[in-house]
Structure 1
Amino acid sequence: MSGTQTPLFRSRAQIDVSATPAEVYAVVSDLARSGEWSPECLGGEWTTGEPGAVGSVFRGENERSGEVVAWAPVVRGKWTTYAEVVAAEAGRTFQWAMHDSKGEKQDSVWGFTIEADGEGSLLVHHFRMGTATEGIRGITAEMDDAQKQQFFAEWGDKVAGDLAETLGRIKAVIEKDKEGAAGAQGA
């Protein structure tokens, strides 16, 4: 027995950003700004710890439309999540694990990795869910095997699309911020 298990979900997307790794990290590690780029997170606030530090907890305010995997019993409208920072290396990586309703970290980790790439950076957004979270167990509890297979395929596509959309928005925010800063210096 190998002890390794295929994750339930694993997805990643990447984009080139015209900014240094330090500049990119300063933005992506500021989860309170995530409403500027996330398709679902509207932003939120740090509830414990130093903002962005390993062990700190962020309360996110989220909203999802009814069209997302419309046939499945996923959360619609507004809801709150709690996430704990599990990796924070300035200019390199920032990751957070989702909490369950008891405040325990789940095997559901979102994150960014950043690498210098010429004059800019390569920004990778990734998600991994090793085992079903409390929410996924609730969503799939009444599903038969065929429905579960369909749900996991559609949810995987949704996550992949969200990662790519998030990166496009982050790139625009960072490059606009840099453009504004350069313009202010030249004034």
Structure 2
Amino acid sequence: MTTSILESRPLFELGAEIHIAASADKIYSIVSDMKRHSEWSSELQDGKWLSGEPGAVGSVFLGENFRSDDIVTWAPLIRGIWHTKSEVVETSPGQAFRWKIHSKTGEPQDLVWSFVLTPGEDGTTLSQTFRMGYASPGIHEITKDMDEPDKRKFIADWTVKMTRDIQETLEKIKVVVEKA
């Protein structure tokens, strides 16, 4: 019997980096402002803080997201507007900013987005990572009617989509930061 792709640990561990001609502190002040993520995110359109001091560890952000019909078209994804709750889990000014996505029922998941900053002589390297330690309830819902080959195809297609999104996000952040 073959082990399902959904049993992989981590299921996703993706990332990219870009050099930005700015200080780590300047970049951090921008990427740690969740309200600004709509300026560069492929899905986040808007949002609001639900609890805690905005951007502080433990604060919770409600994101309003939009996914178009042309994203992994063959899979039963949420299309149009959908919402996520994110909890800030690390704030290290000039170094790292991380948040964890909650499930639909409100529990924190092993699904973490990170920005890590590495200062250099002529600017800063900004890395963004996405890590899903185990298949989330959302992934299980999407793949519940798929056979194993389709589950593997979905994970492969989603990896391509997420990798592209991360690279595009970093490129957009670079433009935003270097214009500021």
Assess same fold via TM > 0.5. yes
Indicate the SS of the match to 1:74.
Answer: coil
Indicate which of 148, 152, 174 corresponds to 1:149. 152
In 1, Cα distance between equivalents of 2:154 and 2:31: 29
In 2, Cα distance between equivalents of 1:120 and 1:47: 34
State the partner residue of 2:23. 20
In 2, Cα distance between equivalents of 1:116 and 1:53: 22
Deviations 1:117-144 (A, max 9, x none): 1121000000000111111110011110
Deviations 1:2-48 (A, max 9, x none): xxx63101100100011100000000000101110001111211110
Give structure 1 regions of 4+ aligned residues with deviation exceeding 6 angstroms.
Answer: none
Structure 2, gaps ≥5 residues long: 1-7
Q: Is the 8 A contact 1:109 1:128 kept in 2?
A: yes
Once superposed, what is the RMSD of the aligned Cα atoms? 0.8
Q: Give the partner amino acid of 2:55.
A: G
Indicate the SS of the match to 1:101.
Answer: coil
State the partner residue of 1:75. 78
- Percentage of pairs with the same residue: 47
Whether 1:165 and 2:172 are equivalent positions in the alignment is no
Q: Give the partner amino acid of 2:47.
A: G
Structure 1, gaps ≥5 residues long: 178-187
Aligned-pair distance for 1:167?
0.2
Indicate the SS of the match to 1:138.
Answer: helix
Indicate the SS of the match to 1:127.
Answer: strand
State the partner residue of 2:99. 96
In 2, Cα distance between equivalents of 1:29 and 1:78: 23
Whether 1:42 and 2:45 are equivalent positions in the alignment is yes
Larger Rg: 1
Deviations 1:91-128 (A, max 9, x none): 00001110012211001101100010112100000000
State the partner residue of 1:6. 9
Counterparts of 1:78-157 in structure 2, within 5 Å, are: 78-157=81-160
In 1, Cα distance between equivalents of 2:25 and 2:11: 32
- Structure-1-length-normalised TM-score: 0.91
Q: Is the 8 A contact 1:83 1:96 kept in 2?
A: yes
Aligned residue pair count = 173
Aligned-pair distance for 1:149?
0.3
